[in-house]
Amino acid sequence: MRIRDVINRVLWSEEEKSKFILVIRDRAKGSSEIPFERIERVDNTYIYLKDTEDVIPLHRVIEIRKEGKLYWSRYAHIK
């Protein structure tokens, strides 16, 4: 499943957004965590955050965690 579809599934679900964390590649820190509560919307290229003009390219998403456990990973299929 494409990352855009997974993010939209979480955003539009009845589940608490506070249970989900987006982990992204960060040039300065290596990786950063973004709570799903901060995500406003997603399109084919970017994730848009609330209350800021910041956008995150979809190719930077490494994984999604739900309550600390892996929910989706870009590298899950690699062994």
CATH number at residue 12: 2.30.30
Total number of domains constituting the chain: 1
Q: Within a domain: residue 34? A: yes
Cα 15 to the center of its chain, rounded Å: 15
Task: Answer whether residue 67 is part of any domain.
Answer: yes
Query: What is the three-class DSSP state of 65?
Result: strand
Q: State pLDDT tens for residues 33-60.
A: 999 999 999 999 999 999 899 899 999 9
**Rounded to an integer, what distance in angstroms lies between the CA atom of residue 79 and that of residue 26?**
24
Average pLDDT of the chain to the nearest whole number: 92
In a domain, 59, yes or no: yes
Tell me what the mean pLDDT of segment 12-23 comes to.
Answer: 93
The Cα 50–Cα 66 span in angstroms is 20
pLDDT at 15: 85
Q: Is residue 79 part of a domain?
A: no
